[in-house]
């Protein structure tokens, strides 16, 4: 079994000293997965134990657990918890039950590639072995391995991301890609690493409508860590850029196409367009597992549409729009690769031309 704390690298330990480290973990008796319920932040820090697959499906769907890498880690642990319930099955029955559970959980968030990536990874173990008890043990090891790998990927991403920052930089970020969305952080991780090393940067966090991940989560994480952070409404990004307060933009990614088009939280594309106008570089930070070489460009990425009530009623005491009005509520948008200055991965920083250089990561 992998001892996560004992195997942390120096960089990961530095980040752990300032960031959240317990947003996802396997329960003490292996019968549940414990998460921080992100819907309740920042007003309540509540841990939730997930025992059943249906509850796991809804936890992801309702964004109690969110962020592409975090969903992948969660899926690995949850499929192990679920597999334990089939310990007395014959192999073929076990495999079929596991396959159905995998497909069911995969249906809750179609855009975040880490979900299908993690589910296919653990299912491969089921396909390659035939002893059920052995499989269950291997699934537990693989779930820990997925988690451990993400921690080290985050640490490497943050080292590369930090290399792009200078003392006193102003950095705009959108949505949330810190420890809550991953293990230790991707696009927001370099700010935590900078804090741990005494490097001062000033972060401007978009509130990120309509689910307010920037307001509720990013500002919560960074303020808690002692990072100098200023919260702004999404439509204030232009003025802070015009004022000369922004030197770089760091954003996450839920899926990256083979040509470098970046699918990320809705509003990311607008940030990139503004940044291009003001001559500010935009970097997308995320693990190579979010790069989908089977999608030639952003037009081939399915965009999830969410409940209109997230716009009209979710954060308000009274509805803020007529009950009968139609709403268009896409969860993500695609930033054209021509707007991206570099893609920061655990293997290094990839620069244009992306259609050529992204392939090299997988050679």
Coil vs helix vs strand at 271:
helix
User: What is the Cα–Cα distance from 194 to 187, expressed in whole angstroms?
Assistant: 12
Evaluated on CA atoms 131, 135, 137, 138, the torsion sign reads positive
> Is 254 marked active-site?
yes
Output the six-digit token pair for 9: 């690298």
Task: Considering the candidates 101, 206, 254, 261, report the single residue annotated as catalytic.
Answer: 254
Under 8 Å between Cβ of 248 and 42: no
Task: Quickly tell me which residue has 């990004």 as its tokens.
Answer: 237
Cα radius of gyration rounded to whole Å, the chain: 20
Task: Quickly tell me which residue has 């979710």 as its tokens.
Answer: 314
Query: Which distant-in-sequence residues (6+ apart) come within 8 Å of 157 by Cβ?
Result: 186, 189, 285, 286, 287, 344, 345, 346
Under 8 Å between Cβ of 2 and 145: yes
Under 8 Å between Cβ of 301 and 263: yes
Count other C-beta atoms under 10 Å from residue 100's C-beta: 11
Instruction: List the catalytic residues.
Output: 254
């Amino acid at each position: 079994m992998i001892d996560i704390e004992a195997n942390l690298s120096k960089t990961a330990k530095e980040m752990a000293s300032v960031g959240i480290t317990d947003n996802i973990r396997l329960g003490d008796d292996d019968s549940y997965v414990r998460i921080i319920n992100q819907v309740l932040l920042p007003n309540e820090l509540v841990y939730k134990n997930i025992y059943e697959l249906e509850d796991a499906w809804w936890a992801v769907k309702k964004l109690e657990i969110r962020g592409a890498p975090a969903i992948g880690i969660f899926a690995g642990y949850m499929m192990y918890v679920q597999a334990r319930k089939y310990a007395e099955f014959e192999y073929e029955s076990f495999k079929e039950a596991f396959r159905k559970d995998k497909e069911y959980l995969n249906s809750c968030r179609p855009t975040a590639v880490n979900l299908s990536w993690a589910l296919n990874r653990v299912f491969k173990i089921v396909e390659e072995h035939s002893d059920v008890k052995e499989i269950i043990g291997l699934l537990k090891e693989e779930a820990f391995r997925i988690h451990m790998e993400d921690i080290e990927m985050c640490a490497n991403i943050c080292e590369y991301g930090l290399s792009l920052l200078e003392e006193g930089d102003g950095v705009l970020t959108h949505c949330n890609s810190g420890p809550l969305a991953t293990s230790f952080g991707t696009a927001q991780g370099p700010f935590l690493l900078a804090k741990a090393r005494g490097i001062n940067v000033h972060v401007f966090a978009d509130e990120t409508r309509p689910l307010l991940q920037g307001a509720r989560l990013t500002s919560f994480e960074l303020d808690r860590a002692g990072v100098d952070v200023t919260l702004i409404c999404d439509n204030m990004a232009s003025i802070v850029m015009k004022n000369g307060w922004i030197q770089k933009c760091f954003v996450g990614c839920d899926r990256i196409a083979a040509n470098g088009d970046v699918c990320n939280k809705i509003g990311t594309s607008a940030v990139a367009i503004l940044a291009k106008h003001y001559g500010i570089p935009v970097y997308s930070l995320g693990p190579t597992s979010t790069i989908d070489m089977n999608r030639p460009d952003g037009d081939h990425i399915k965009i999830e549409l969410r409940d209109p009530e997230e716009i009209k009623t979710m954060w308000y005491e009274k509805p803020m729009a007529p009950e009968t009005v139609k709403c268009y509520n896409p969860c993500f948008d695609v930033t054209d690769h021509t707007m991206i200055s570099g893609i920061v991965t655990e293997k290094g920083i990839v620069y244009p031309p992306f259609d050529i250089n992204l392939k090299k990561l997988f050679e």
